Structure 1
Amino acid sequence: MNIQEIMKAAQNMQAKMAEAQAKLDTIEVEGQSGAGLVKVTATAKGKIVRVSIDPSLVDPNEKDVLEDLVAAAINDLRAKADAKAQEEMGKLTQGMPLPPGMKMPF
């Protein structure tokens, strides 16, 4: 490959990365806790879209439990969003001749 081909390939990759980043704003993932009694939905980029709490948990005496369940659902969601984001970004480098150990995005 000459330098022009390398530059063009880099520009194409940059455009695909931008598209993939934009797509992450449209992909939703859901985290749950308390056997599904608390659910948090967010984009794969981590923007919280909605929180759903089963009415059975809305008890002033159980405020601490509810707060813990919301935190657990958000942590579950974050792990799923990270996995989904990595999956989407991995699609970009699939079949690309990268040196061993080199990962995209940088």
Structure 2
Amino acid sequence: MFGDIMGMMGKLKETQQKIEETKKRLDSVLIDEQSSDGLLKVTLTANRNVKSIDIDESLLEDREQLEDYLLLVMNKAIQKATAVNEAELGAVAKDGMPNIPGMDMFK
């Protein structure tokens, strides 16, 4: 019994390490999003850190329009980054979970 527990603890520790490595790797995965007309472009990491924002000069003339563009494009980019982040971390967590009877919530 204790061997099983120790084995599970080792597996959980290994999984935690893999999760941390995946988080670091996701800092280099870039998500690009732009407005439908290409006037505003943003780039985020899969960890949802903003890397760049490119604004066309024409948007600088209308503050309200620029704000609308920023909200729309940033939210789309965050949604994409979140999907990539959750899929990657979920795969690592699922793969690394020890087989504990009754704990099949990741299947």
RMSD: 2.2
Flag the structure with more relative contact order, 1 or 2, with Cα contacts below 8 A and sequence separation at least 6.
2
Total equivalences in the alignment? 101
1:66 corresponds in structure 2 to 66
- Partner residue, 1:85: 85
Post-superposition Cα deviations, 1:1-45, rounded to whole Å, max 9, x if no partner, equal: 612211111111111011011112111112222432211111111
Measure, in 2, the Cα distance between the counterparts of 1:64 and 1:34. 17
Deviations 1:37-94 (CA, angstroms, capped at 9, x unpaired):
21111111111111011233332xx221111101111101110110010121122124
Higher helix fraction (1 or 2): 2
Distance 2:12 2:66 in 1: 48
Unpaired runs of 5+ residues, structure 2, are: none
Give the Å deviation of 1:102.
4.1
Correspondence 1:101 to 2:101: no
Measured after TM superposition, the shift of residue 95 of structure 1 is 7.7
Q: TM-score, normalised by structure 1?
A: 0.80
Provide the identity percentage: 32
Q: Which runs of 5+ in 1 are unaligned?
A: none
